[in-house]
Amino acid sequence: MSVEILSPAGAFESVVAAVCSGANAVYVGGNDFSARKNATNFNREQLEQSAIYCHARGVKIYQAVNTLVFDKELENLADTLKFACKIGIDGIISQDLAVAKLVKNLCPTLPIHASTQMTIHTKNGTMQALELGFCRAVLARELSLKTIKEICKLPIEIECFVHGAMCMSVSGQCYMSALIGTRSANRGMCAQACRLNMSAIKNNQNNRHDLSLKDMCLIDYTNELIKAGVVSLKIEGRMKRPEYVALTANAYKNALEGKPYDIKTLENIFSRNGFTQGYLLNQKGKEMFGFRGREDVESSKKEFAKAHELYRHERKFSKIDFVLEVKKDSCTLTATDQNNISCTVSENIAQKAINKPITEEFAKSRLSKLGSTIFEMGNFEFVCEENLTIASGEFNSLKNKLIEKLMRARTEYFTQKHSFTDFNYSQIIDKYTINNINNNINKKPKFRIECQNLEQLKFVDIEKFEYISIPLEYSDKIKNIDKNKIIITLPAFMYNEQDIENKLLLAKSNGFSHILADNIAHIYMGNRLGFTVHGGMRLNITNSVSLGVLKDLKLADSILSMELTNIQASHIKNIIPKGLYVYGYMPAMLTVNCPSFAVKNSCGDCRKTITDQKGECFKISCHKNYGYVEILNSAPLWCINKLDKFQNIDYFVLKFTNETPQQVKETTNKLFSENKNPPAKFTGGLYFRGVK
């Protein structure tokens, strides 16, 4: 079985459950930088224990270091990577570009996997991950089998989620939990706002869950995924019980081996009104939505005892061949496993037989009793001088010592050796800033506008702004604006990447030269086509090293994450010019499954809003021509009256979505007037609250 069954483990019992039940790889999180902070997670002693346990059994163990990192945490991040090298972690799963940079500089032999939170869903995004040093890409869950097949043709390992919970939002692009209650999904503290009461219908009925998707189950499609080129089948669930881990691992193992598996059991152990395969089959709509009710919970309880039986005993991983040589002054026992790992123990325990000498049958019988180990009896070779015997207790002790020695040898054999360059992480930042000492403190920040349509610019004094960002579809309609002031914005999610590329080439031939990159696919495409690339907020830049990586990728500048405080943003080094949004209805979710459409499987009578249980109304910005929608925050960000609170920022951005031209005019006028009073309903965002 060469393909991975990659199981989640939130605690050591789940590691055991996964390994004993069929997984040949597990992923875990430490106490720091884990995107599942509410899981039990592992301290360093438990991480090492888990690594030893897995490697003795030839199972790989990956560590999720997959939260966004702040500057003050970079030293701890470097130390986390150092410990991962020490215990032989088989790969790091990450979304922050700083992790990739530190791995490349400090421990280049340590494999690094691009987390699904990097929103990799296209060929260009996958190729950019490869160039950044990632050896594997964990694809977004929203992809069809056809798209997965195309991406699998690229020279990088591809991992896909096949089972478990699905966020309504594209992973890495959900800010709702942070905006509502400062609990950042990108920092591992998601409050699962999508599972709360949310209504997309007009009369706002209670007890609707119009942002809650069913769990994914692709067990019937494992062969198709493997044929497509997927090397790792990933099961979600680091916050789930060991019984769930055991049942899912065992079911997918059986599926790969052509043995029977029971989907109903999988559904009972955990689901939300059943399962869905919608994205894989390119079938979106209301059939994908579901909420975990009381019946689902009761069904789970019935399966727990059955599941526990799957990991009560060791799983057999290898046959071993024994050679026993009994001589008058020595007894030597050798074991060789199927990986040709061989160990020998020798002791002077043979005695002259008083009654019956030791026989081959007796020795083989004793050696074959391996029930509590990971081994099964293979071949046996017996050599014995005449008239000798061995006491049963001493023979068993000799066998046990050999098994222990073989387990240590297997641990050594399967543990990767990674060197770590022990120098301070800050030296990496110093290399970026040595010729770019911060001289922007006293500079006056510039202003930029991001619009959703050209009509919004009707009353705007363009000359007051450094750049104007306009969607790609309007590039052929722009007149009377200097094209050097235009930054073309691209679809945040791209199902037809080639079409976008063709339109970009046309825009370039018409004199446009700047694009805004909201994911790494945009960066790769922009650089390849010869555009000046500006970083967007969705790149989730929260530290100086990540901003430095954007400099490596030739970006001209970048908007920082809106999950930073004003102080944190000011402390990020000006390696390239950095900006912040100070006005706009900020994105709460990027989703390819429209909640309004899902109500009736139709766009008719769409109210373009969704309302939570407190009556807060979130606008839905429709981009159905590109296959996605954005759910916007219920109140606009307004920091125009607090610009003096932001230090060391090179530019501020005003983001307009559904505003009328008159509203755009009023907002931009306040930017340059004494009256900077906010509207009746507004938010200061997270700049003065921070995130957990």
Q: What is the DSSP string of 115-143?
A: -GGG---SHHHHHHHHHTT-SEEE--TT-
Contact 558, 630 (CB under 8 A): no
Q: What is the pLDDT of residue 354?
A: 83
Fold of 4-166+214-311: TIM Barrel (3.20.20)
Buried b (16+ CB within 10 A) or exposed e, 520-540: bbbbbbbbeeebbbbbbbbbb
**Residue type (1 letter), 437:** I
Distance CA 550, CA 534 (A): 9
Q: What is the pLDDT of residue 440?
A: 53
Q: What are phi and psi of 667, to 5 degrees?
A: -70, -45
Distance CA 325, CA 346 (A): 9
Distance CA 537, CA 133 (A): 22
Distance CA 239, CA 390 (A): 51
User: Among 3.20.20.70, 3.40.50.300, 3.40.718.10, 3.30.565.10, what is the CATH number of 426-585+635-671?
Assistant: 3.20.20.70
Q: What is the pLDDT of residue 435?
A: 55
Distance CA 386, CA 327 (A): 9
Ordered by start, the domain boundaries in the chain are 4-166+214-311, 318-414, 426-585+635-671
H/E element holding 573? none
Q: Which residues of the chain have pLDDT under 70?
A: 1, 37-39, 203-205, 434-442
CA 157 from chain centre, in angstroms, equals 15
Angle at 215 between CA 157 and CA 50, to 5 degrees: 55
Q: What are phi and psi of 413, to 5 degrees?
A: -65, -40
Q: What share of the chain is helix, strand, coil (3-state, %, to 5)?
A: 35, 20, 40
Q: Give pTM, 2 decimals.
A: 0.95
Identical topology for domains 4-166+214-311 and 426-585+635-671 = yes
**Residue type (1 letter), 482:** D
Contact 566, 144 (CB under 8 A): no
Strand order in the sheet with 375-384: 342-347, 330-337, 318-327, 375-384
Q: What is the pLDDT of residue 301?
A: 75
Contact 511, 485 (CB under 8 A): no
Q: What is the pLDDT of residue 41?
A: 79
Buried b (16+ CB within 10 A) or exposed e, 219-233: bebbeebeebebbbb
CA 358 from chain centre, in angstroms, equals 58
SS3 sequence of 307-349: HHHHHCCCCCCEEEEEEEEEECCEEEEEEEECCCCEEEEEECC
